[in-house]
Amino acid sequence: MTTRQEVIDFCLEWQDAYPDAPFRDDNWTVLRHKSNKKSFAFVYEQEGQMRVNVKCAPADASFWRDAYPGAVLPGYHMNKTHWNTIVLAQVPEDDVKNMIAESYRLTSPAVKEGRGC
């Protein structure tokens, strides 16, 4: 998974997901839940690389950053404890998908506020 469209297509496999463009910058695509409008993936290009910001539990954030130094970073323009930035071409597709899926789960209406955040 290395392109914006691949990330969007993967995210849209969930029934509750939709793409949004809330910024005045066409570089950003935000994937949200229809039911609660919470964002679970921010896709953008920076320094010639496609990236995606995902929500994660703090322990998981540290785990992924340690597993892929330089490729999983503290969330760009996000809370550094709860969000990571993934440089897409530098992380295996299965791990990218796992991180996006966990972000989706954490922001889902089924997850109570304050749990796993």
pLDDT tens profile 22-81 = 888 889 999 999 999 999 999 999 999 999 999 999 999 999 999 999 999 999 989 899
Q: What's the pLDDT band for 117 if we cut at 50, 70, 90?
A: very low
Averaged pLDDT, 19-23: 91
Calculate ∠ Cα 2-56-32, nearest 5°. Answer: 65
pLDDT of residue 110: 72
How many contiguous H segments (helices) and E segments (strands) does the chain have? 3, 6
How many other C-beta atoms can be found within 10 angstroms of the C-beta atom of residue 43?
24
Domain assignment of residue 18, yes or no: yes
80 domain-assigned? yes
- CATH for 67: 3.90.1150.30
Residue 116 belongs to a domain: no
- 10 Å Cβ neighbour count for 44? 20
Using an 8 Å Cβ cutoff, are 4 and 29 in contact? yes
Residue at 113 is within a domain? no
